[in-house]
C-alpha cells in the first residue's frame, strides 16, 4: 500500500479526535519497516519513528507519538496546523512541508503520521567539527534558511500588522519567575522594547514557530524539508521565525569548545559562560556578528520593517524562549541571557 492510499477518506480539515486504527495496524497494512528516529528530551517528550521502504530503506512516512498529555495535545495541534498551512498552498515550498496522512493510536496516545521529507538535518552539519568556524559554510547555512523562509512567507502573506513580538510574554514570565527580584526591571525593559517594535509594521504570514537548525533538512545546499510544526500558526508574526533561527544558530557556536578557551574561527569569542556566543553575535565584532545581524536586518526589511530594530527583535526572541520553553533550566538561562543583553551599556545591574 502506498502512502497516498493511507490518507483518511473523509478528507477533513482537522485531525480526528479519535484515531481510527493503531500504529501497528498501519505498519502491517503498509508493509513498511519501522525505525526509531529519536526521542525529544524535553519534559513533554515525543518519540519520532520513520516508516521506511523494505527495498532500499527510503523513508516513506514519519510518525510522532507523545508520552504525556501535554505532548498529546501538541501532536493534535500539529496535525491541525499542518492541514491549515498546506491549505494556503505556499507553492514554492509545499514539498518541504509534511502532509498529514493519518492520526492513529499507539499505546493509548494519538500518533501523527505524515509524509517523510528528504534531506539531512542541518544540525548534523552544524555540530560537525570545524563547520561553524568557516565563514563560507555559515554563510551558506544562513542563506539557505533565509531563502526558504522568504518563499514560505511570500506564499502565505496576509495583510499588514504591527511588529509586536512581546504580546503575552510579560504575563508568562511573571508567572514562571514570580520569585525573581530582578524580574520587574526585566519587564520594564521588555515594555520599552515592545513600544519601539510596535512603531513598525510588517506583512503578516504563516509562522512555523520553532524555526531553528534542528528542524531544518537540507539537500544540495538548500532547505529541502522543515519538521515539527506543533507551534505553527496559519497567520501570525513572521519575524518570530527570523529571530528564532538567528538566535538558535548563534547560541551553540561554542558547543565544541572547552570552557574558558577561545572559539576557533571567531576572534574575540571565548566559551566562558552560557550564552556567550549569542552575546558575541549581538554585541561583538567580526565576520559572524556581521552575518548574524545581516540575517535579521534583511529579514526585517523584506517584511517591510526598519532594519534598525534588529537588536530589539533579537531580545524579544530571547525573552520568548524564556517564557515558552518546556525546560525550566533552559528557560532560566534564557532569562539571564536576556537580562545581560538588555541592560543599558555600562550598567552594572
Query: In the predicted model, what is the mean pLDDT of residues 73-96?
Result: 96
Q: What span, in angstroms and rounded, lies between the C-alpha atoms of 336 and 319?
A: 9
Q: What share of the chain in percent tops pLDDT 90?
A: 87
Q: State mean pLDDT over 105-120.
A: 95
Please tell me the pTM assigned to this model.
0.91
Return mean pLDDT, the chain.
91
The pLDDT value given to residue 3: 33
Partner residues linked to 270 by β-bridges: 262
Give yes or no for residue 14 having a pLDDT over 90: no
Q: Is the pLDDT of residue 20 over 70?
A: yes
DSSP assignment of 229-296: -TT-EEEE-THHHHHHHHHHHHHTTTTTS-TTSBPTT-TT-B--STTHHHHHHHH--SHHHHHHHHHH
pLDDT 10s digits, 181-232 = 999 999 999 999 999 999 999 999 999 999 999 999 999 999 999 999 999 9
d(CA 241, CA 232): 10
* 61 confidence band (pLDDT: 50, 70, 90): very high
* Phi, psi of 51, rounded to the nearest 5 degrees: -105, 115
Q: Supply the pLDDT for residue 57.
A: 86
Domain range 3-115, CATH class: alpha beta
User: In the prediction, which pLDDT does 37 show?
Assistant: 74
Is the pLDDT reported for residue 348 higher than 70?
no
What is the pLDDT confidence band of residue 338, given thresholds at 50, 70 and 90?
Answer: very high
What is the domain partition of the chain in residue ranges? 3-115, 120-342
Q: So what's the pLDDT on residue 43?
A: 63
Determine how many CB atoms are found less than 10 A away from the CB of residue 154.
Answer: 17
pLDDT value of residue 4:
32
* Lowest mean pLDDT across 32-41, 110-119, 176-185: 32-41
Per-residue pLDDT, 56:
86
* 20-24, 138-142, 319-323, 345-349, range with the lowest pLDDT: 345-349
pLDDT at 9: 29
How far apart (Å, rounded) are the C-alpha atoms in residues 334 and 162?
Answer: 25
The least confident of 5-9, 41-45, 237-241 is 5-9
CATH 3.90.1200 at 120-342, yes or no: yes
Ramachandran region, residue 266 (left: φ > 0; alpha: ψ -120 to 50; beta: rest): beta
- Alpha-carbon distance of 224 to 118, in angstroms, equals 6
Amino acid at each position: 500500500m502506498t502512502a497516498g492510499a493511507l490518507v483518511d477518506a473523509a478528507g477533513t480539515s482537522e485531525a480526528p479526535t479519535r484515531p481510527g486504527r493503531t500504529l501497528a495496524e498501519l505498519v502491517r497494512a503498509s508493509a513498511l519497516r519501522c525505525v526509531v528516529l529519536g526521542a525529544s528530551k524535553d519534559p513533554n517528550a515525543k518519540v519520532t519513528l520513520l516508516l521506511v521502504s523494505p527495498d532500499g530503506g527510503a523513508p516513506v512516512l514519519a510518525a510522532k507519538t507523545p508520552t504525556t498529555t501535554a505532548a498529546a495535545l501538541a501532536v493534535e495541534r500539529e496535525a491541525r496546523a499542518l492541514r491549515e498551512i498546506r491549505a494556503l498552498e505556499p507553492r514554492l515550498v509545499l514539498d518541504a512541508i509534511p502532509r498529514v496522512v493519518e492520526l492513529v493510536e499507539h499505546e493509548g496516545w494519538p500518533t501523527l503520521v505524515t509524509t517523510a521529507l528528504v534531506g539531512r538535518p542541518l544540525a548534523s552539519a552544524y555540530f560537525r567539527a570545524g563547520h561553524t568556524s568557516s565563514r563560507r559554510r555559515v554563510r551558506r547555512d544562513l542563506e539557505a534558511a533565509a531563502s526558504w523562509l522568504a518563499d514560505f512567507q511570500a506564499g502565505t502573506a496576509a495583510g499588514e500588522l504591527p511588529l509586536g513580538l512581546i504580546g503575552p510574554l510579560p504575563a508568562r514570565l511573571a508567572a514562571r519567575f514570580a520569585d525573581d527580584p530582578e524580574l520587574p526591571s526585566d519587564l520594564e525593559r521588555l515594555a520599552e522594547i515592545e513600544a519601539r517594535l510596535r512603531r513598525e509594521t510588517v506583512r503578516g504570514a504563516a509562522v512555523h514557530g520553532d524555526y531553528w537548525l534542528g528542524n531544518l533538512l537540507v539537500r544540495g545546499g538548500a532547505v529541502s524539508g522543515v519538521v515539527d510544526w506543533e507551534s505553527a500558526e496559519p497567520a501570525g508574526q513572521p519575524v518570530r521565525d527570523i529571530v528564532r533561527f538567528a538566535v538558535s544558530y548563534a547560541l551553540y557556536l561554542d558547543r565544541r569548545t572547552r570552557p574558558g578557551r577561545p572559539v576557533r574561527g571567531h576572534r574575540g569569542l571565548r566559551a566562558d559562560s552560557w550564552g556567550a556566543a549569542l552575546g558575541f553575535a549581538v554585541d561583538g565584532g567580526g565576520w559572524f556578528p556581521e552575518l548574524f545581524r545581516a540575517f535579521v536586518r534583511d529579514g526585517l526589511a523584506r517584511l517591510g520593517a526598519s532594519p534598525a530594530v534588529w537588536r530589539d527583535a533579537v531580545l524579544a526572541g530571547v525573552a520568548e524562549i524564556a517564557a515558552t520553553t518546556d525546560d525550566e533550566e533552559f528557560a532560566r538561562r534564557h532569562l539571564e541571557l536576556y537580562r545581560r543583553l538588555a541592560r543599558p551599556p555600562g550598567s552594572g545591574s
